[in-house]
Amino acid sequence: MHALSIPTWVIHISSVVEWIAAIWLIWTYGDVSQNRAWWGLSIAMLPALVSAMCACTWHFFDNAASLEWLVTLQASMTVVGNCTQMVAAWWIWRSATVGRLDSNPLSLNTLVPLPLLLPSIFPIAKETLFAVSLFPYLGFLWFLTRSRQTPRLALIGFYTLLVFVAITIPAGIYAKSAYGANLADVDWLHGGAESFLTLSNILVVLGFRQGIIERRSQLVSQTE
């Protein structure tokens, strides 16, 4: 547990808590907006939560080499999570273009088969998996942006994750060249890069919180 300093642990734990809060707020946003497509996004975000828990578990055991399979599992769940989020974002976009989907709700059959890809992608190198995961995430952003249904601040938060990715890559290269170690083993670089993930999640949480307040205000004004 001593592989990470206390500030870096705070960043990791807060990121997980914020993601859980985002899942709950997005579900609530689906309620107040009367669009069940947002429920699909809440469910689709669960694999990313599993990914984060894998990372925290590995760090808890001091980044033990014997548990490095957790990093591969983390990368695999990131791929699966970004794919499920892309599907959910497509559903949100479709709900905005063809109307409410109350008569055609999202079938779990759309999302459930994606985790079944795990056995086939698990043997791939974790670095490759993290790189591959970027493509479905870009698709997720494209559909979410095109839907014009996402609270602006939350959308900025989802885009901020790209800043985290852009910073993590050179930080990992610098950790190798300057310290001869993985990024996870260079605490100040690791914590600094992860802080952008925390920032991304905070913006998503605040954005959907603001969106819920605005939607509820609209509902109250409509009933008056």
Locate the domains of the chain by residue range. 6-223
The whole-number pLDDT of residue 220 equals 77
Residues 6+ apart with CB under 8 A from 109: none
Residues 6+ apart with CB under 8 A from 36: 30, 101, 102, 105, 106
Alpha-carbon span 21 to 19, nearest angstrom: 5
For residues 86 and 137, is the Cβ–Cβ distance under 8 A? yes
pTM for the full model? 0.84
What letter represents residue 92's amino acid?
Answer: I
Write out residues in the chain with pLDDT < 70, as ranges: 1-2, 98-126, 223-224
Tens of pLDDT, residue by residue over 70-105, are: 998 898 899 999 999 999 999 999 887 765 444 344
Question: If we measure between CA atoms, which residue out of 6, 19, 1 comes closest to residue 157?
Answer: 19
Question: If we measure between CA atoms, which residue out of 92, 121, 78, 116 comes closest to residue 33?
Answer: 92
The whole-number pLDDT of residue 210 equals 96
For residues 177 and 169, is the Cβ–Cβ distance under 8 A? no
CATH topology assigned to domain 6-223: Rhopdopsin 7-helix transmembrane proteins (1.20.1070)
The whole-number pLDDT of residue 104 equals 47
Burial 155-176 (b: 16+ CB within 10 A, else e): bebbebbeebbebbeebbeebe
